[in-house]
Amino acid sequence: MAIVSNTVGYLDGDVLLEAFFAFDDAISTRRPAVLINHTWAGRDAFVAEKAKQLAALGYVGFAVDMYGKGMLGTSVAENAQLMQPFMDNRDMLQKRMLAAYANVKLLPWVDDSRIAAIGFCFGGLCALDLARTGASIKGAVSFHGLLYPPGNSEGHLISAKILALHGHDDPLATPQQVLAFQQEMTAAGADWQLHSYGHTQHAFTNPVANDPARGMMYSADADRRSWLAMTQFLAEIFA
């Protein structure tokens, strides 16, 4: 096994974006691809490492760029400034996700009939919004994702299978928002699951998260359990 990685440029309109991708070149056949959506900080080393881990599982890992080539936040204020336009305009967010989806299908190693999306925090919302568009992805996985409905998908059906991995004590996804999300997925006809991890806050997959006062704290157990849940989910939807 030899994991090969590189970057690839693509466009959403006139915005130049740059994804990071990884695959195992010991596999000679086309294989499923997994879009990996970053946190509010941008397409960083965290999602690049996830792409490599997914490549080791036999997939093409494609770390999506939502902000533009080289755009990374370095502070809470910068991260919020980068993310907020997409929170305010979910049509723009969904259009950018569809651009990533269209471009991953062009990679020569990808079986374009078997694509899924995962994401972390803001990226969880991005993965869910791609499913909400009705895109022909097999599934979407949200890790401690934002669950706010987009406001433009009422009455739409969701064909993708959905897995939400949630910290019960996450202040950014309250019990009321979780219930509303479950009701939304049910109304959309989605095959959905939600795993709720007790005594677990936001950002539980991020080893450097250590701000319990703001409800953000790494949890080794939830990190391990959620990744295992994702691997089992991907194996099921790609079978």
- pLDDT (0 to 100) of residue 188: 96
**Given its phi and psi angles, is residue 187 left (phi above 0), alpha (psi -120 to 50 degrees) or beta?**
alpha
223 contact partners, CB below 8 Å, separation of at least 6: 204, 205, 207
Give SS3 for 9: strand
**pLDDT above 90: residue 187:** yes
Average pLDDT (28-33) is: 96
Contact of 185 with 140, CB cutoff 8 Å: no
Cβ(2)–Cβ(84) below 8 Å: no
Domains of the chain: 3-237 (3.40.50.1820)
The confidence band for 31, taking pLDDT boundaries of 50, 70 and 90, is very high
Percentage of the chain lying above the pLDDT 70 cut: 100
Burial annotation 166-186 (CB, 10 A radius, 16+ → b, else e): bbebbebbeeebbeebeebbe
Does residue 1 register a pLDDT over 80? Answer: no
The mean per-residue pLDDT over the stretch 16-43 comes to 97
Give the pLDDT of residue 228: 98
Reported as a single tens digit per residue, the pLDDT across 157-174 is: 999 999 999 999 999 999
Q: Residue 145 has what pLDDT?
A: 98
Mean pLDDT of 72-87: 96
pLDDT (tens digit, 9 = 90+) per residue, 211-223?
A: 999 999 999 999 9
Specify the DSSP class assigned to residue 121: T
The model's pTM: 0.97
Does the pLDDT at position 68 exceed 80?
yes
With a cut of 80, say whether residue 231 has pLDDT above it: yes
Res 239: pLDDT: 96
**pLDDT over threshold 80, residue 226:** yes
Q: What is the pLDDT of residue 155?
A: 84
Residues 119-160: tens digit of each pLDDT: 999 999 999 999 999 999 999 999 999 999 999 988 889 999
